[in-house]
Amino acid sequence: RKEVEQDPGPFNVPEGATVAFNCTYSNSASQSFFWYRQDCRKEPKLLMSVYSSGNEDGRFTAQLNRASQYISLLIRDSKLSDSATYLCVVNTDKLIFGTGTRLQVFP
């Protein structure tokens, strides 16, 4: 079993749609959690950290459920520029990456 599991997608959604990605992790000792975004084999860029209390950054909302070892990302009002691969990342003693969920937003 992979340490961090994500649905690979692709998720194809129209502009303006709301889309949600989920992720599960296996190591209960994991300390911090992130969503990264990767465009077309470029470097991954930190989108946001994820906290148990939930956190929001504009159209993006992230949530962590430690009991279920589950992380989510919600994107509201999708834009064409949101098209990318979204990587769920978990920190144990180093960052462990999920394989990513591909999002394609169409006009």
Partner 1 sequence: GEEVAQTPKHLVRGEGQKAKLYCAPIKGHSYVFWYQQVLKNEFKFLISFQNENVFDETGMPKERFSAKCLPNSPCSLEIQATKLEDSAVYFCASSQTGTGTYGYTFGSGTRLTVV
Which residues of this protein are in contact with partner 1, per CB under 8 A?
8, 31-32, 34, 36, 41-46, 49, 85, 87, 89, 91, 93-97, 99-100
Residue (41 or 107) nearer to partner 1, CB: 41
> Min. distance of Cβ 88 from partner 1 in angstroms?
11
Residue (99 or 104) nearer to partner 1, CB: 99
Best CA proximity match to 50, nearest among 74, 19, 27: 74
List Cα–Cα distances, 52 to 61, 66, 103, 106, in angstroms: 12, 7, 24, 32
Check: CB of residue 45 under 8 Å from CB of residue 38.
Answer: yes
Residue (9 or 76) nearer to partner 1, CB: 9
> Min. distance of Cβ 30 from partner 1 in angstroms?
10
DSSP letter (8 states) at residue 80 = G
Residue (15 or 57) nearer to partner 1, CB: 57
> Min. distance of Cβ 77 from partner 1 in angstroms?
25
User: Cα torsion at 80, 71, 38, 78 (round to 10°)?
Assistant: 0
